[in-house]
Each structure stands twice: as structure tokens, then as C-alpha cells.
Amino acid sequence: MHSETRKRVLVTAAGSGIGLVIAKAFVRQGAAVAVCDISESNLAAAATAIPEASCSVTDVADPQQVDELFDRVKRELGRLDVLINNAGVGGPTAAVEDISPADWNRTLAININGQFYCTRRAVPLIKAAGGGSIVNISSVAGRFGYPLRTPYAASKWAVIGFTKSAAMELGPHGVRVNALLPGFVNNARTRAIFTAKAEATGVTTDELEREILSRVSLRQYVTSADIAEMAVFLCSDAGRHISGQAISVCGNVESMC
């Protein structure tokens, strides 16, 4: 990316949560930002929070909707320097034999297929811009086994392989590709996952929370802002030699179980 030009950035699933915080962080840096989300209500809230952004309702698991998203991005932004593949779902919390094929397929359709659909459309635009950066959101579950969360863990491991392969392929074109691995983020989605796992394992949510944080070296959650700041850094000139990396922002999670 060229420091003298204003970055054009697309953040997926930016209607709420980590994605919205990332989009706001890029806006503060002066970037022109486009966001998408599957939820119309979340997207409406994002449009209020960041009125400068271009907003599109998109299910990233649907390649036709992704094509429509990128047609709009090209039309409204003119080019693309940065793609943040943030869209993801937690998937079911259940024993592997109790997970339905539909729940398995939907989790992978969003968490890894969606990243592929967006990346394949973003790459020609980023190449045409003279290079840029792609950040794929994985999870610390992408480096550990995660019992009762097999679809989620499998998809997040897949993100790492996709990232490292794409970085090798795209590096000669000036496109950097990295993955961010958030740890336990203090937000509504994490609390919902903890509640589901507590119910599945027969403990209270408070007991589960204490147990989980005991496996984090810093004994604390990370925040959405922590993830956003690392994403902005990776896409900045300061991160220009970082590619192909799976970077944990997690307080050093030691294990998932």
C-alpha cells in the first residue's frame, strides 16, 4: 500500500462486535470503509455509528451475494487496499455425534467458504491498487483442539492454512495475508458460547468462566479494540514486512480444555 493515498477497506460482518470496532478503527485512520453484515438491523446500527461507511446486507456464505457486494465496493470505493475477513459464527456446542450435517455445513460455509468467496473477488482489486493487505480472522481455537466445538475449531484451523497458502501465492504481487487469532473476547458472543458450554457440561457459567480464564496466562479477557488495533497495524506501513503469520491476540491462551 502507498502511504500517500487514502486506504480503501472492506470489513465483513461489521454490523456489530469485533467487525464494527475494526471498521471504526480504520475510519479513525482516515480510510474509506465499506462494511457488510447479514443482519439488516445490525447494519442499520453500524450506518448510524459510522455514517461515512458504505453498507451492504450480505451473507458471505452465498457467492452470488458476495459478487454483488464486490460490484458495489468497486463502484463506490473505486479500488480496494484492504480486506478484513471477519465474518464468522460460533457454530453448535455439542458432542460430535450429535451435530447435524446442516449445522456443520453452515459453520464451515460462513467461517471458511465465506473467506474464500471474498478473497477471490478482492485479490484482483488489491493487485490493481498496487498491493495491499488481507487479514483473516481465525481464533485461538485454530491452534488447539476444542471439544464440543468441532465445526468451529475445524473451520478456524482451515483459516490458518488458507492464510499461509494465500500469502505465498500473493506475496510476489505485493499482497500480504495474515490471520488474527483472538482469544476470549469480552463480548456478548463469548458469553453466549460460555453459557451454551456450561449447559452442555453441567456446570455454572461462573464456574466455567473461572476455569477458562485460569488457562490464560494473563488471567483476563481481551477486547475488541485489541483485535482492531492489531488489524490496523498489520495493514499499515509499519506492518509492511509481515505476511503469512497467524498472530494470537489472546493474553497467551495455554489450552482450550
Q: Which residues are catalytic?
A: 152
Residues ≥6 apart with Cβ < 8 Å to 22: 11, 14, 84, 86, 224, 227, 228, 231, 232
Query: What separation in angstroms does the CA of 84 have from each of 64, 100, 133, 144, 218?
Result: 19, 29, 8, 23, 27
Amino acid of residue 197: K
Query: How large is the C-alpha radius of gyration of the chain?
Result: 18
Q: Are 65 and 41 in contact (CB under 8 A)?
A: no
C-alpha triplet 235, 58, 189: angle, nearest 5°: 70
Q: Is 203 helix (H, G, I), strand (E, B) or coil?
A: coil
Query: What separation in angstroms does the CA of 131 have from each of 8, 80, 209, 230, 233?
Result: 12, 9, 42, 19, 16
Residues ≥6 apart with Cβ < 8 Å to 171: 243, 244
